[in-house]
């Protein structure tokens, strides 16, 4: 007889949704209580990247893939310096990680970073619930935090809403830092950090870009202080309707016609800067299998998404904006949500999804090349002028 | 890009008979493709020699040619039909090779036929080892990663021996080019092994080419299924991880989807390489499969190979994800792009996405080594499994245990009682991959092996090893618990434990565990396979069970009929039964029922989500079926459960289902018993006054000996309740009878052995019939070409019977009716008769759809399985005649005189198996069925039909050349006339001394050749075996006798298999072959579609 490694069962845990639905399972990661917006992610790989994506700040992420933690935790794949999700919901956590790069188990990592999770619940039922009723507030309680259901529900209903939340400043860097170009330096880019993922400056650096990452509070003057060839606005958490400061900085950049690129939150900022509205999706796009069509080429790319809000821009026509003509460049074929914007009269574009793709497919990596070619065209025109 | 308008007709090539490595999955993919093309308004022309397929149903294509898939016959079809395009990527390697060969011969150009779905250059780049290496190098230059294993291409044995040094020594992998299912490949650890494997590989490869490769044994193995359209959109449909590491053919591995042990970075790297390869190879549209190996120590990625076509893995991936690869491949081939094709399951999202799974899929292979006791059971890079089961669970342990019990084979489920054995011995055994290695590993774990020890011994990934430990720990908890409390029971069920396993651990009866479980409210829920992990609502009720919280089975109002399928393909229970189940589903749906299919075989049409109204992808055990019936009874009314169409698997559940209150429709469990039980069946025969060969049943050797002494040797012995003649043998003496009883594991007091008189020289006859309680419809009468004693599944047969007269048919009809009535059949019955002298003996009756139902249906243009399904639910034969499903008058016993003759020929898997010394296994036919599939030849006369059946099964009969004849004494008389015919057709005869003497005395000249036992002659005269190997023989006739003189025959027959020389092992087959050769030499062999045959037949009937 071998001795059982199943050990003592983990503490009971309860997941309570704001509409009163309750799931009971076992604690995973840290024991205690946590709150956030319940969202589901359909990616079958890349849990480390997901956990460390700042855009998931204040969200409780439900993994639709049942087995999580199989490859453990390594030191290379995180997208930022910490785990940002406020809670984690999985069905079957790995008992033993297996990968040549693994350093420790995910359970250990979650515990070390104080992330409260729950395991062993019907994650598909929860996902279907969120799909039908929309993303909503949720609480996870384990150990001593488990109390009477009604008390827990009241706590969940007291937690803050995602709509109206201004969160970029909470996740962005406080100090400016520089990511040097890999190989020969060709361009300088000022990147406004609204919750940037580590892979984004890396993808730029690979293309000879020296990236100056600036805090979310950076002003137009701060941006131009680095003498940029292009300006970038990153992804990030929260409601774009609250991001007035970022919108005004972007408008400053657009006025100067500096090449501009935005990802995710950056796309919503561009939308607002151009005068479009933004709105909250029922349950968002979170996964790495979303079909997006590049309307300029007709080609479909399989892309990584993580957005709960979207830009409200017309799909069927070119819009007039204070910065000239604008059009929707990319669209999600699942539901026709705007996935990209571009200006036709000056060098600025953005996408709602994640071309840096960590986790996710690399189909949209060409967008970084599009950014560098905008910068070289602009440089050449400047030289000719 | 919308549909092309310049294509109006398409020729689709099927994959021919079911063989190891090319099975029912191509019926599934071909059927999907034909339906799609037809729905798009194209004229679909199909060629497939396999009658047991849905795709060759006359309504699937516009013109269905059941003709041999050889360039000659396909050219005849092209000349007749003049299609605009040829789609070759959905019929496996057979279709691809045929298309390439027709391209090379200029046939496609001559008739202006465009190859769609793949171009020749891409096929060659994907299939040719050397070109593919170039592709991988080009990919590495572009994206920076992906490489091939170090390798050398060899065209001769000299190249091969030299090649080993350049790779750095043994072990090396040998892979022949252009063979399917990895035929002829293997690992060589020394020169002897190398010479053997590479020698056979050079022979098997149509281009006499093998690749030698560095060994990556023990690495992690992965597959990706990709699709590309004309706009260069590419999606990865599915990732598959092999539980068994590199060294075992992926068809023989337990495989898991999605990949379980890759980080996103590693997965995306495989994806990038896969996409770059499909682009570099230039697969214009359609699917392809790419295999990878990853070094577990450092992640080095090696690209193993690609298939530029739909494959077994893509069928699995389609079932695993709900993304129908073949269907979409067909759409892409005619011009659509992925974003223009809607996802069937969500209806509102496009197919240009990558499925996300919120469950785990495990596929487990089904082997048939018990049929080939001499074969080496070690698993290698040559595929040896004959079927597979797939299971879906919400986690790996659940899916794995469901898959193992789906295999429906004794010992396939984990067992946790009894002494596990010695740990070190078990670990040592587990080093060698075999059927059931996973069970050995489980016993090693029970015996105290550590996770590290298991990994060291097997190289199975530590994550999977840990999952096995998890299962074992739950078993320990089940054993240790004071009582079965709900939490523990629920936990065990969540990890896939069956009631039977729990019962075994707890020392209880299975039904007691079930009662306790139901009392505690521990029941499964049913989740949906929806391609998108619940992100969008699914419109398709494609279900799997799981012990989770929320069920997704929707209520319904129409009465449901639950059809139980046949489970994994195995020898004796294959695609023919799936055919009948699918037909039942179509017919009952048309009749207004909600059809519910239950099956666990991913290769089949029945497990396509749009075949039935609801699909449960579940094991076919009593427990699993009862739970489905329960879930469906909560959803709405149930009209009944159909058990008689899926072969022995559902039939075996009939009584237990009835005992549990489930309404079994059609033939009742009691009637099934009356046919299966020897005593009961004997009474039925006695009442009807029908003779059976003398027989008896015994449970001990003494009992069997007494019976054999009374009826006289030889006797036919077999266990009761088996399919495919499992364990059946002709026993010539008492010594063998004693050892047979001692060896048989199937015999017990409740399952006695049957001892029959063996009828020498009898004609065997198969009858398929329908009975509704009052009227008999004789579906068809098949006369076997081989004599009785050879399993009916392995015997060639002709329909209508070629030597039986009207009086015989009358007797057969009367006997069939008496038995159908006596047993109490409602639906189909299959009876085997033997005509010895003038006496018609009844050998056995099966109150269910038989293996020959699809053949009979196609030969007579009557849908017997559909009719059987309707009769099961109460419709009468008279009503079916009135509505036109059955002919107004007459039946399969009254076919018009000029009805076409159909010949069914069995296809044997000999070339797949080697014994432990690496030699081929013997090819003699016997009472135990060993064929994997069948073909049909149809024409106006027997000779042509027989020649077509041979061309479809083994390659064309020779029309001239050298024929070697060596027959047993008892066959010497009957050999003379056909031998004379051969000479008349210009054959030069060769014979061993004894046979030559007989021939000469009858005035037939034959050259004497040396037997193997005589060795090479003093003047260097070669033995017959050497001559065969040298390609000096075009036709072999070799009949075995008993056990004497066996070795010579064995060597001759295995040499014939190795060289692909037609080898006839009965005199009856020789006589038929001579008629075939005669037809071929007259040169008037044409092609005719089933629709044309049917039109002719129906006109003649009216």
Do the strands B987-991 and B1063-1064 form a parallel or antiparallel pair, or are they unpaired? unpaired
CA distance A42 to chain B (A): 6
With cut-offs at 50, 70 and 90, classify the pLDDT of residue B121.
very high
Least confident span in B101-105, B198-202, B912-916: B912-916
Which of B299, B348, B473 is the closest to A4 by Cβ? B473
Which of A71, A302, A359 is the closest to B261 by Cβ? A71
A/B interface, count of CB pairs below 8 Å: 182
CATH match for B400-519 among 1.25.40.10, 3.40.30.120, 1.20.1090.10, 1.10.1030.10: 1.10.1030.10
Query: Which pLDDT value is given to residue B1046?
Result: 43
Is B359 at the interface with chain A, CB within 8 A? yes
pLDDT tens digits, one per residue of B804-826: 988 999 999 999 999 999 999 99
Residue with tokens 């992965």: B222
Is A7 at the interface with chain B, CB within 8 A? no
* 8 A C-beta contact, residue A73 and residue A48: yes
How far is the C-alpha of B334 from the C-alpha of B38, rounded, in Å?
12
Superfamily of domain B950-1082: Methylglyoxal synthase-like domain (3.40.50.1380)
How far is the C-alpha of B83 from the C-alpha of B65, rounded, in Å?
13
Which of A127, A333, A360 is the closest to B349 by Cβ? A333
Does residue B336 surpass a pLDDT of 50? yes
Angle at B1046 between CA B1043 and CA B1049, to 5 degrees: 145
Structural element, H or E, at residue B63: strand B63-65
* 8 A C-beta contact, residue B279 and residue B270: no
Does residue B653 surpass a pLDDT of 50? yes
Domain limits, chain B: 9-118, 150-215, 400-519, 525-660, 666-692+759-899, 694-753, 950-1082
Domain limits, chain A: 12-158, 168-384
B578 closest CA partner among B587, B596, B570, B566: B566
Is residue A20 a known part of a binding site? no
Half-sphere exposure for B531 (CA within 13 Å, toward CB):
33
Residue B534 has phi, psi (to 5 degrees) of 75, 10
Residue with tokens 């990209």: A340
How far is the C-alpha of B783 from the C-alpha of B892, rounded, in Å?
13
B436 closest CA partner among B382, B366, B381: B366
How far is the C-alpha of B780 from the C-alpha of B860, rounded, in Å?
7
| CA B558 to chain centroid | 34
Chosen for mutation from B358, B420, B423, B445 (greatest number of chain A CBs closer than 10 Å) is: B358
* 8 A C-beta contact, residue A199 and residue A231: no
Q: What separation, in Å, do the N-terminal and C-terminal C-alpha atoms of chain B show? A: 48
Buried b (16+ CB within 10 A) or exposed e, B289-315: bbbbbbebeebebbbbbbbbbbbbbbb
> What's the CATH code, domain B525-660?
3.40.50.20
Which residues 464-493 of chain B have a CB within 8 Å of chain A?
466, 469-470, 472-474, 476-477
How far is the C-alpha of A372 from the C-alpha of A186, rounded, in Å?
9
Does residue B1041 surpass a pLDDT of 70? no
Query: Which pLDDT value is given to residue B71?
Result: 93
pLDDT tens digits, one per residue of B686-712: 998 898 888 888 888 888 899 999 988
Which residues 278-297 of chain B have a CB within 8 Å of chain A?
296-297
pTM for this entry: 0.94
How far is the C-alpha of B785 from the C-alpha of B807, rounded, in Å?
20
pLDDT tens digits, one per residue of B2-51: 788 899 999 999 999 998 888 889 999 999 999 999 999 999 999 999 99
Catalytic residue among A57, A285, A330, A354: A354
How far is the C-alpha of B876 from the C-alpha of B474, rounded, in Å?
52
Does residue B375 surpass a pLDDT of 70? yes
pLDDT tens digits, one per residue of B574-621: 899 999 999 999 999 999 999 999 999 999 999 999 999 999 999 999
Report, in this order, helix, strand and coil percent for chain A, each rounded to 5: 25, 35, 40
CATH 3.40.50.880 fits A168-384, yes or no: yes
Note down pLDDT in tens along chain A; length 385 residues: 334 446 566 899 999 999 999 999 999 999 999 999 999 999 999 999 999 999 999 999 999 999 999 999 999 999 999 999 999 999 999 999 999 999 999 999 999 999 999 999 999 999 999 999 999 999 999 999 999 999 999 999 999 988 888 899 999 999 999 999 999 999 999 999 999 999 999 999 999 999 999 999 999 999 999 999 999 999 999 999 999 999 999 999 999 999 999 999 999 999 999 999 999 999 999 999 999 999 999 999 999 999 999 999 999 999 999 999 999 999 999 999 999 999 999 999 999 999 999 999 999 999 999 999 999 999 999 888 7
With cut-offs at 50, 70 and 90, classify the pLDDT of residue B721.
low
pLDDT tens digits, one per residue of B209-233: 898 888 888 999 999 999 999 999 9
pLDDT tens digits, one per residue of B945-985: 999 999 998 888 999 999 999 888 878 888 899 999 999 99
CA distance A2 to chain B (A): 5
Fold classification of B9-118 (topology level): Rossmann fold (3.40.50)
Please give the torsion angle defined by the CA atoms of residues B801, B804, B810 and B811, in that order, rounded to the nearest 10 degrees.
-110
Does residue B262 surpass a pLDDT of 50? yes
Closest alpha carbon within chain B to A94: B463
How far is the C-alpha of A62 from the C-alpha of A88, rounded, in Å?
6
Query: Which pLDDT value is given to residue B971?
Result: 83
Catalytic residue check, A356: yes
Does residue B1045 surpass a pLDDT of 60? no
Fold classification of A12-158 (topology level): Glucose Oxidase; domain 1 (3.50.30)
Q: What six digits make up the tokens of A87? A: 């809670």
Q: B-chain residues within 8 Å CB-CB of A4? A: 473, 476-477
Kindly report the CATH class assigned to B694-753.
alpha beta
Span B836-840, average pLDDT:
87
CA distance A367 to chain B (A): 17
pLDDT tens digits, one per residue of B498-540: 999 999 999 999 999 999 999 999 999 999 999 999 999 999 9
How far is the C-alpha of B812 from the C-alpha of B568, rounded, in Å?
33
Catalytic residue among A264, A307, A327, A332: A264
Does residue B1027 surpass a pLDDT of 50? yes
How far is the C-alpha of B245 from the C-alpha of B460, rounded, in Å?
6
Query: Which pLDDT value is given to residue B967?
Result: 86
Is residue A236 a known part of a binding site? yes
Half-sphere exposure for B1081 (CA within 13 Å, toward CB):
16
Angle at B103 between CA B102 and CA B106, to 5 degrees: 85
Considering chain B, what percentage of its residues have pLDDT values greater than 90?
A: 68
CA distance B925 to chain A (A): 48
* 8 A C-beta contact, residue B777 and residue B770: yes
Does residue B1043 surpass a pLDDT of 50? no
Query: Which pLDDT value is given to residue B838?
Result: 85
Which of B297, B474, B535 is the closest to A287 by Cβ? B535
User: Using the beta-carbon criterion (under 8 Å), do A287 and B533 form an inter-chain contact?
Assistant: yes
pLDDT tens digits, one per residue of B156-169: 999 999 999 888 78
Quote the radius of gyration of chain B (alpha carbons, Å).
Answer: 28
How far is the C-alpha of A305 from the C-alpha of A193, rounded, in Å?
18
Superfamily of domain B666-692+759-899: ATP-grasp fold, B domain (3.30.470.20)
Instruction: Tell me which architecture the domain covering B150-215 has in CATH.
Output: 2-Layer Sandwich (3.30)
Q: Do domains B9-118 and B950-1082 have the same CATH topology?
A: yes
| CA B439 to chain centroid | 24
């Amino acid at each position: 007889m071998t001795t059982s490694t199943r050990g003592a069962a983990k503490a009971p845990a309860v997941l309570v949704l704001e509409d009163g639905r309750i799931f009971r399972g076992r604690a995973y990661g840290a024991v205690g209580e946590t709150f956030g917006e319940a969202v589901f992610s359909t990616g079958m790989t890349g849990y480390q990247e997901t956990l460390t994506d700042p855009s998931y700040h204040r969200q409780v992420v439900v993994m639709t893939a049942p087995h999580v933690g199989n490859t453990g935790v390594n030191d290379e794949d995180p997208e930022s310096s910490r785990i940002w999700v406020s809670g984690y919901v999985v069905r079957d956590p790995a008992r033993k990680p297996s990968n040549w790069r693994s350093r420790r188990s995910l359970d250990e990592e979650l515990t070390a970073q104080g992330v409260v999770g729950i395991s062993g619940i019907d994650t598909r039922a929860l996902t279907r619930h969120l799909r039908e009723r929309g993303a909503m507030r949720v609480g996870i309680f384990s150990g001593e935090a488990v109390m009477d259901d009604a008390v827990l529900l009241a706590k969940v209903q007291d937690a803050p809403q995602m709509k109206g939340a201004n969160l970029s400043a909470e996740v962005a860097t406080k100090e400016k830092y520089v990511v040097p170009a890999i190989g020969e330096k060709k361009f300088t880019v000022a990147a406004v950090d609204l919750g940037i993922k580590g892979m984004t400056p890396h993808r730029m650096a690979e293309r000879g870009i020296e990236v100056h990452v600036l805090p979310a509070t950076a002003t137009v003057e701060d941006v131009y202080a680095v003498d940029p060839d292009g300006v970038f606005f990153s992804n990030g958490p929260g409601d774009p309707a609250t991001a007035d400061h970022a919108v005004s900085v972007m408008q400053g950049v657009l006025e100067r016609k500096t090449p501009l690129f935005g990802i995710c939150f950056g796309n919503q900022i561009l939308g607002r800067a151009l005068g479009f509205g933004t709105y909250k999706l029922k349950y968002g796009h979170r996964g790495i299998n979303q079909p997006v069509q590049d309307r300029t080429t007709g080609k479909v790319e399989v892309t990584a998404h993580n957005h709960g809000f979207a830009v409200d821009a017309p799909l069927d026509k070119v819009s007039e904006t204070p910065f000239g003509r604008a059009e929707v460049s990319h669209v999600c074929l699942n539901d026709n949500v705007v996935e990209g914007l571009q200006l036709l009269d000056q060098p600025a574009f953005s996408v709602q999804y994640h071309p840096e793709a960590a986790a996710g497919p690399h189909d949209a990596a060409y967008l970084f090349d599009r950014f560098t070619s905008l910068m070289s065209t602009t440089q050449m025109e400047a030289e000719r002028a | 890009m919308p549909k092309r308008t310049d294509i109006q007709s398409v020729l689709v090539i099927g994959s021919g008979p079911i063989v190891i490595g090319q099975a029912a999955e191509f019926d599934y993919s071909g059927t999907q493709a034909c339906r799609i093309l037809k729905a798009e308004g194209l004229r679909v022309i199909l060629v497939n020699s396999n009658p047991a397929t849905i795709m060759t149903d006359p309504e699937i294509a516009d013109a269905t040619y059941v003709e041999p898939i050889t360039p000659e016959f396909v050219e005849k079809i092209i000349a007749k039909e003049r299609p605009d395009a040829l789609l070759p990527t959905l019929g496996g390697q057979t279709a691809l090779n045929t298309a390439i060969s027709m391209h090379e011969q200029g046939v496609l150009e001559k008739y202006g036929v465009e190859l769609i779905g793949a171009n020749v250059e891409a096929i060659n780049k994907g299939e040719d080892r050397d070109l593919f290496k170039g592709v991988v190098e080009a990919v590495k230059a572009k994206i920076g990663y992906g490489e091939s294993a170090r390798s050398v291409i060899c065209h001769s044995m000299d190249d091969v021996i030299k090649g080993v040094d350049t790779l750095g020594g043994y072990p090396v992998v040998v892979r022949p080019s252009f063979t399917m299912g990895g035929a002829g490949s293997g690992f060589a650890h020394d020169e002897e092994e190398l010479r053997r494997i590479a020698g056979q590989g050079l022979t098997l490869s149509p281009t006499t080419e093998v690749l030698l490769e560095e060994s990556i044994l023990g690495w992690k193995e992965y597959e990706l299924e990709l699709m590309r359209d004309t706009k260069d959109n590419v999606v990865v449909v599915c990732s598959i991880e092999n539980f068994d590491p590199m060294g075992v053919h992926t068809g023989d591995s337990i495989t898991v989807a999605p990949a379980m042990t890759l980080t996103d970075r590693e997965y995306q790297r495989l994806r990038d390489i896969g996409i770059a390869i499909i682009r570099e190879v230039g697969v214009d549209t359609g699917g392809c499969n790419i295999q990878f190996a990853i070094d577990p120590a450092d992640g080095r990625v090696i690209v193993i190979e690609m298939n530029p076509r739909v494959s077994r893995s893509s069928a699995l991936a389609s079932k695993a994800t709900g993304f129908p690869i073949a269907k979409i491949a067909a759409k892409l081939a005619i011009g659509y792009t992925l974003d223009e094709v809607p996802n069937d399951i969500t209806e509102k999202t496009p197919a240009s996405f990558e499925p996300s799974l919120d469950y785990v899929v495990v596929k487990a292979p089904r082997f048939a080594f018990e049929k080939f006791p001499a074969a080496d059971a070690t698993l290698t890079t040559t595929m040896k499994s004959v079927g597979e089961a797939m299971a879906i669970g919400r986690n790996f342990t659940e899916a794995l245990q469901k898959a193992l019990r789906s295999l429906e084979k004794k010992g396939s489920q984990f067992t946790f009682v009894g002494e596990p054995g010695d740990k070190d011995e078990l670990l040592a055994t587990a080093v060698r991959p075999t059927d059931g290695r996973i069970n050995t590993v489980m016993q090693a774990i029970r015996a105290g092996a550590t996770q590290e020890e298991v990994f060291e011994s097997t190289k199975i990934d530590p994550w999977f090893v840990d999952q096995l430990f998890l299962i074992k720990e739950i078993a320990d908890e089940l054993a240790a618990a004071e009582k079965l409390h709900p939490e523990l029971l629920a936990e065990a069920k969540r990890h896939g434990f069956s009631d039977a396993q729990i019962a075994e651990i707890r020392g209880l009866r299975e039904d007691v565990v079930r009662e306790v479980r139901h009392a505690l409210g521990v029941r499964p829920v049913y989740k949906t396979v929806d391609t998108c992990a619940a992100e969008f609502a699914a419109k398709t009720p494609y279900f799997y069970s799981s012990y989770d919280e929320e069920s997704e089975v929707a209520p319904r109002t129409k009465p449901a009929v639950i059809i139980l399928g046949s489970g994994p393909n195995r020898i004796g229970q294959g695609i023919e039964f799936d055919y009948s189940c699918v037909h039942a589903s179509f017919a009952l749906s048309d009749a207004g029922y909600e059809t519910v299919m239950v099956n666990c075989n991913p290769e089949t049409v029945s497990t396509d989500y749009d075949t039935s109204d609801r699909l449960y992808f579940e094991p076919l055990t009593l427990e699993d079926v009862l739970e489905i019936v329960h879930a469906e009874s909560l959803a709405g009314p149930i009209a009944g459960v159909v058990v008689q169409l899926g072969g022995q698997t559902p039939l075996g559940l009939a009584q237990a289902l009835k005992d549990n209150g489930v309404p079994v429709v059609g033939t009742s469990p009691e009637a099934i018993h009356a046919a299966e039980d020897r005593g009961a069946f004997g009474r039925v025969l006695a009442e009807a006054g029908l003779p059976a060969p003398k027989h008896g049943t015994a449970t001990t050797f003494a009992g069997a000996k007494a019976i054999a002494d009374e009826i006289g040797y030889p006797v036919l012995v077999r266990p009761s309740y088996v399919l495919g003649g499992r364990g059946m043998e002709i026993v010539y003496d008492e010594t063998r009878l004693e050892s047979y009883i001692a060896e048989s594991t199937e015999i017990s007091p409740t399952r006695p052995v049957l001892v029959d008189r063996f009828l020498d020289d009898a004609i065997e006859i198969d009858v398929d019939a329908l009975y509704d309680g009052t009227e008999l419809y004789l579906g068809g009468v098949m006369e076997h070409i081989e004599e009785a004693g050879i399993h009916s599944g392995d015997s060639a047969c002709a329909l209508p019977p070629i030597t039986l007269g009207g009086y015989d048919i009358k007797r057969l009809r009367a006997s069939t009716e008496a038995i159908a009535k006596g047993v109490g059949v409602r639906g189909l019955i299959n009876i085997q008769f033997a005509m010895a002298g003038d006496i018609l003996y009844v050998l056995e009756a099966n109150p269910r759809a038989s293996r020959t139902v699809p053949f009979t249906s196609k030969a007579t243009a009557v849908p017997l399985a559909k009719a059987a399904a309707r009769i099961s639910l109460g419709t009468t034969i008279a009503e079916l005649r009135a509505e036109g499903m059955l002919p107004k008058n007459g039946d399969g016993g009254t076919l018009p005189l000029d009805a076409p003759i159909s010949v069914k020929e069995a296809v044997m898997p000999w070339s797949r198996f080697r014994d432990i010394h690496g030699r081929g296994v013997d090819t003699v036919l016997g009472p135990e069925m060993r064929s994997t599939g069948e073909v049909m030849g149809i024409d106006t006369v027997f000779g042509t039909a027989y020649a077509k059946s041979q061309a479809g099964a083994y390659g064309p009969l020779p029309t001239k050349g050298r024929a070697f004849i060596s027959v047993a004494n008892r066959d010497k008389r009957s050999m003379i006339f056909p031998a004379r015919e051969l000479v008349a057709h210009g054959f030069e005869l060769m014979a061993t001394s004894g046979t030559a003497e007989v021939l000469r005395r009858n005035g037939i000249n034959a050259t004497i050749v040396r037997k193997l036992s005589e060795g090479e002659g003093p003047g260097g005269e070669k033995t017959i075996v050497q001559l065969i190997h040298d390609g000096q023989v075009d036709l072999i006739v070799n009949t075995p006798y008993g056990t004497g003189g066996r070795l010579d025959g064995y060597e001759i027959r295995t040499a014939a298999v190795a060289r692909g020389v037609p080898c006839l092992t009965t005199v009856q087959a020789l006589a038929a072959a001579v008629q075939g050769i005669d037809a071929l030499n007259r040169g008037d062999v044409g092609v005719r579609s089933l629709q044309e045959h049917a039109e002719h037949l129906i006109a003649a009937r009216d």
